[in-house]
Structure 1
Amino acid sequence: MADDPHSPDWDPRSDEVLSDQIRAYDTMRAQCPVAWSDYQHWTLFRHEDVMRVLEDHQTFSSAASSHLSVPNGMDPPEHTPYRKVIEPYFSQQAMSQFEPACRNIARILVNNLPDRQPFDVVETFSRAFALQIQSTFMGWPDSLHGPLREWVLKNHRATLASDRQAMAEVAHEFDGYIHDLLETRRQAGANAPRDVTTSLMEETVNGRPMSDEELTSLMRNWTVGELGTISSSVSILLSYLAEHPDLRQSLANDTVALPDAIDEILRIDAPLISNRRITTRYVEIDGRPIPTGEKITILWASANRDEKVFGDPDAFCPHKNRDHNLLYGAGVHVCPGAPLARMELRVLMKEFLRAVDTLEPAPGDRPERAVFPTGGFNYLPMVIRKR
């Protein structure tokens, strides 16, 4: 641990860390649970410290960016009316209505997977599912699949490089897609499709319609979260089940256990690595003095493996760990889209397990892990045998 509060305790982008992020985070949690780096600023590795941040939005503000971020980058009371608008889109009724479309997408993708031939799970399956499911949920045309795929990759590269100009250009590119979608609906008037995008355009916040800037920010946040995290989640799930064939067979025989099993696998191996906050006053965490205005990185990928909470972090114990799992966050910013993500993953995995008899790594080909800020895989070669 460094004596100077702004002398780096670690390098999150070193080859050593990026070669095995999860193990590196496990080590940091034990050796330096509150760490400074030039890249992440203050990083919190322990479950209790992350919970402290999540439960005290007055001290640890979500307004960590200079750009509008609806509602992720807002604190109550500003955050509250936006959250009220969003939550009905993820209600039990909304999920029930969307589930048949989700199942249809999942079933077609599973049926189209090659039998007994190597394929890349990420490109062929997980990323395709995320793109199709997001576009269908929002009411976006299939023609956006290709541009959105490229946009996600560019957004990831810009974020990893901390390239502010590139990040601004990527955001502007996405804004253009949304502007076109909004304009198409405005020109259609009463004939506009009755989908989530049109409905959001008709919502009001504090008695007024949302501006295009607010709508674009909201849809960008939904899209980044959906495309990146769902794709990462699917690759993690298939990799884990390939390594644990007994569990895969158990879940194929008892799909009722799927929801808890999915959450637990994604606790062990995080699809979303971190989020940010900023301090509004001087605080001390684990004896480290943190001034006002400092950026905090809450590391889900470490907090969800904290031995003090979960025991052996790699032990598969879904019922024991359920109440402390931070997969979808906690507090006022707990993920509003969690019901959608859970439904999508449950439906996809049920269809996959129904159709697939064996799942194994492709011989002679090595997977490539994704690196911060995303989890999961960039490349995951697998072979399946269908039933």
Structure 2
Amino acid sequence: MSDEMPVDWDPRSSAVQDNQIAAYDDMRHRCPVAHSAYGNWAVFRHADVVRILDDPAAFSNRVSPRRSVPNGMDPPEHTLFRDINDRYFTPERMRAFEPDCREVTRGLLDALGDGEVEIMSALAEPFANHMQCRFMGWPERLHEPLREWARRNREATLALDREAMAAVAGEFDSYIREQLDERRENPTHDVTSELLAERVDGRPLSDDELVSMIRNWTVGELSTISAGVGIVASFLASRPDVQSVLRAEPDRIRAACDEILRIRPPLIANRRRTTRDVVVADRAIPAGERVLVLWASADRDEEIFGDPDEFSFDRDPEPNLLYGRGVHACPGAPLARLELTVLVEELLGATTSLTAAEGAHLVYATYPAGGYSEVSVSLVRR
């Protein structure tokens, strides 16, 4: 084990916030396991992240005192709830949802018109919002409250305002409980109603368990899908060669989205907690410590991917950690892939040209958000 002290890494420093990806690339080379100013150990290399993901017994997902279903659980409890979760993201369900996905996408694209568009506010954020409401069977009247909620949640998280974070969390839970109560009174044929009928160990799920599971689905959707849309749109606008291939061969869109989001991941990190003393990349980490796995670094590791900024249609998808790995791999990955694939299909189908807006500059999102906060492109519709 190394006797050197790890770099004291501050993810909220101006150097990181100016360009997160460049900062993580630098840390991966200088100090692959760094100690954060906030008490976390940050892990930057692909091999070390994989080691953590493949050992949930040593690196627990129980990182918060707040009950989180199922992502904040460990096996065997996690397995019971994950089995319920995964029934809602089967290939059959995705095929059944695809017409709704296209209807939502086309409606949003029709509203854009020609010319310059700021993608995050005009498309990415409403896309994630409307899509999640449609998937859950929630009414359109929730669109604007959820969009405003997402804004306040970002602000509270960026400011590390614990009181504000608790308040917005409680507000979001109230939206879910309202939808559950409405369906108890008037059952419908949607995902939210189906969840009310689920059983675990022979008993109904409690309201707290239902709210936690739905919160996990929805909060992740509102943040990472909107970030993903901005990243993909920005990349395509800068790469007419890739656009040309995808317009001619739409079957390659799904793999292309995965590769684009490997280059600039929409989700920066996830947390783990050590259950025993461990050694990672020659660093001794005691039991009970918080560990950050940096997706936004691991998926750019030169030891695995070569030039991290090189786009390849033929890259082996196996090492890509975009949707995680192991027992805690992203439960909503099939839905996310469907949504992004349909979005790109419809966007390219509705336009003859997608380019970066003249004179526009990308505005990077700040930690812990990924992607961009502003992406301006120019569209020419068919």
Q: TM-score, normalised by structure 1?
A: 0.96
Residues 40, 297 of structure 1: 8 Å contact kept = no
* 1:192-220 superposed Cα distances (whole Å, 9 cap, x missing partner): 11100010111011111111111111111
- Secondary structure at the counterpart of residue 276 of structure 1: strand
Q: Please state how far the C-alpha of 1:178 moved relative to its aligned partner.
A: 1.1
Map of 2:17 onto structure 1: 18
Residues 7, 31 of structure 2: 8 Å contact kept = no
- Trace 1:1-387 onto structure 2 (pairs within 5 A): 9-39=8-38, 41-116=40-115, 118-188=116-186, 192-387=187-382
The amino acid across from 1:84 in the alignment is D
Q: Please state how far the C-alpha of 1:161 moved relative to its aligned partner.
A: 2.5
Rounded to whole Å, the distance in 2 between the matches of 1:317 and 1:8 is 33
* 1:241-261 superposed Cα distances (whole Å, 9 cap, x missing partner): 111111111111110111111
The amino acid across from 1:317 in the alignment is S
Q: Please state how far the C-alpha of 1:169 moved relative to its aligned partner.
A: 0.9
Rounded to whole Å, the distance in 2 between the matches of 1:93 and 1:40 is 43
Of the structure 1 ranges 95-104 and 358-367, higher mean CA displacement relative to structure 2 is found in 358-367
Residues 41, 295 of structure 1: 8 Å contact kept = yes
Q: Please state how far the C-alpha of 1:112 moved relative to its aligned partner.
A: 2.0
Residues 263, 318 of structure 1: 8 Å contact kept = no
* 1:295-331 superposed Cα distances (whole Å, 9 cap, x missing partner): 0000000000000111111111243231100000000
Rounded to whole Å, the distance in 1 between the matches of 2:43 and 2:373 is 26
- Secondary structure at the counterpart of residue 153 of structure 1: helix
* 1:142-201 superposed Cα distances (whole Å, 9 cap, x missing partner): 11111111111222222222222221111101111111111111122xxx1110001011
4+ residue runs over 6 A deviation? none
Q: Please state how far the C-alpha of 1:3 moved relative to its aligned partner.
A: 7.0
Rounded to whole Å, the distance in 2 between the matches of 1:368 and 1:96 is 35
Residues 26, 305 of structure 1: 8 Å contact kept = yes
Residues 106, 129 of structure 1: 8 Å contact kept = yes
Distance 1:332 1:186, change over 3 A: same
RMSD of aligned alpha carbons: 1.4
Q: Please state how far the C-alpha of 1:40 moved relative to its aligned partner.
A: 6.1
The amino acid across from 1:215 in the alignment is L
Q: What runs of 5+ residues in structure 1 fail to find an aligned partner? A: none
The amino acid across from 1:294 in the alignment is E
Residues 8, 37 of structure 2: 8 Å contact kept = no
Q: What runs of 5+ residues in structure 2 fail to find an aligned partner? A: none
Q: TM-score, normalised by structure 2?
A: 0.97
Q: Please state how far the C-alpha of 1:8 moved relative to its aligned partner.
A: 5.5
Percentage of identical aligned residues: 51
